[in-house]
Amino acid sequence: MPPLLPGTATLGVLGGGQLGRMFVHAAQAMGYRCIVLDPDAISPAGAVAEKHIQADYLDHLGLAQLARDCDAITTEFENVPALALETLAGMRVVAPAAAAVAVCQDRAVEKAHFESAGVPCAPHAVITNDIELAAVDPALLPGILKTSRMGYDGKGQVRVKTAAELAQAWNDLKRVPCVLEQMLPLKAELSVLVARGADGQVVTYPVQQNLHRGGILAVTEVPAPDVPAEVATLAIASARQVAQALAYVGVLCIEFFWLDDGRLVVNEMAPRPHNSGHWTMNGASVSQFELQVRALAGLPLPEPRQHSATVMLNLLGDLWFTAEGGPTPPAWDRLLALPGTHLHLYGKAEARHGRKMGHLNITADTPEAAHAVALQAAALLGLPTDF
């Protein structure tokens, strides 16, 4: 298709969360109108878009209205029904495609894709029935049992050490299809953001080093402080392989485990901008959200350039609650007095424990300086300083 030029087109988003909100902001800055379809009456993205269609993701009237009013449509989260994307693709340009999103929605299918793309993943077994449960190789234990679908931020995951614990965990997960992954000794968790256009052009960001707490991303540092050049090169090459094998269009995040023995194995992928890529909003020449807009609109994709060392701190709703009670916003004025701090709040109406409320980017001329300020910021917020 010819490119959708800024100032002349309307872009649609399935999903009203914070990723959709930041996509809308990036698109509007370039001159596009935006329409969000989300079932919630109040949503972060719907609050800032030119129009909010309040409808279920499989509501035919809502999808028809979105297709009628938009020139191209994307999604802001991977669990939107693939059928909704298929329906829209019959009427408008949709990126990423339903087939690519469907791969990311099922861990078993996802791992098969990694293997077919020539990118190694952790040893694993698919469990869908009692026969497959009984046939699990004992070498996979201890391991992590994960639901094949709908798991994110540590949800739908159980650590198991023995065959008995595995059987109990599968029962506790309602015997839904699962993947058992062997637990591997980790040196670090890494991720790579890839953007790919419909013409096959591919660009990537530098490797990101991530720290998770309770299954939720807590800290991202770029440049990755502990990663040698050869590991970074392999991670980027592997991420490009995965995107090319999917014929992917849009922004894709690939997460890796860097093991104690030096090996790199792929963990999972997300067919959208990613929490670990929020640093790009202040530390790079082009943000992940602008690249999502460009890929959807068929515009050129510039090779991203990191201009500042950056540390990203995730801000969960727990920060709004203290020993005295809550919810009360943190002392943002004290935090923003620190050099190189950039606060991004997502416009969510209510703070809740574990809910992603925003993030803080800390930029500096050197990784050491960014890290030092990030430690000060974490201390002010009452966050752990174990990074």
* Nearby residues of 106 by Cβ (< 8 Å), 6 or more positions away: 148, 149, 177
For residue 385, pLDDT beyond 90: yes
When pLDDT is averaged across residues 83-95 and rounded to a whole number, the result is 95
Question: How confident is residue 153, by pLDDT bands cut at 50, 70 and 90?
Answer: low
Contact 170, 162 (CB under 8 A): no
How do residues 319-341 score in pLDDT, each as one tens digit? 999 877 778 999 999 999 999 99
Contact 233, 227 (CB under 8 A): no
How do residues 3-45 score in pLDDT, each as one tens digit? 999 999 999 999 999 999 999 999 999 999 999 999 999 999 9
How do residues 223-275 score in pLDDT, each as one tens digit? 999 899 999 999 999 999 999 999 999 999 999 999 999 999 999 999 999 99
H or E stretch including 240? helix 229-246
Residues at the binding site for ATP are: 107, 146, 151-157, 181-184, 189, 212, 267-268
Question: How confident is residue 152, by pLDDT bands cut at 50, 70 and 90?
Answer: low
Select from 320, 321, 317, 308 the least CA-distant residue to 374.
Answer: 308
How do residues 111-145 score in pLDDT, each as one tens digit? 999 999 999 999 999 999 999 999 999 999 999 99
Separation CA 330–CA 323 (nearest Å): 13
When pLDDT is averaged across residues 375-384 and rounded to a whole number, the result is 97
- Give the pLDDT confidence score for residue 155 in this predicted structure: 73
pTM for this model (two decimals): 0.94
**Domains contained in the chain, CATH given:** 10-94 (3.40.50.20), 123-182 (3.30.1490.20), 186-381 (3.30.470.20)
Residues at the binding site are: 107, 146, 151-157, 181-184, 189, 212, 267-268
Contact 375, 385 (CB under 8 A): yes
Average pLDDT, the chain: 95
- Give the pLDDT confidence score for residue 44 in this predicted structure: 97
In sequence order, the β-bridge partners of residue 196 are 202, 250
Helix, strand, coil percent values for the chain (each to nearest 5): 30, 30, 40
Question: How confident is residue 151, by pLDDT bands cut at 50, 70 and 90?
Answer: low
Separation CA 241–CA 223 (nearest Å): 22
When pLDDT is averaged across residues 162-191 and rounded to a whole number, the result is 94
Q: What percentage of the chain reaches a pLDDT higher than 90? A: 93
Question: How confident is residue 154, by pLDDT bands cut at 50, 70 and 90?
Answer: low
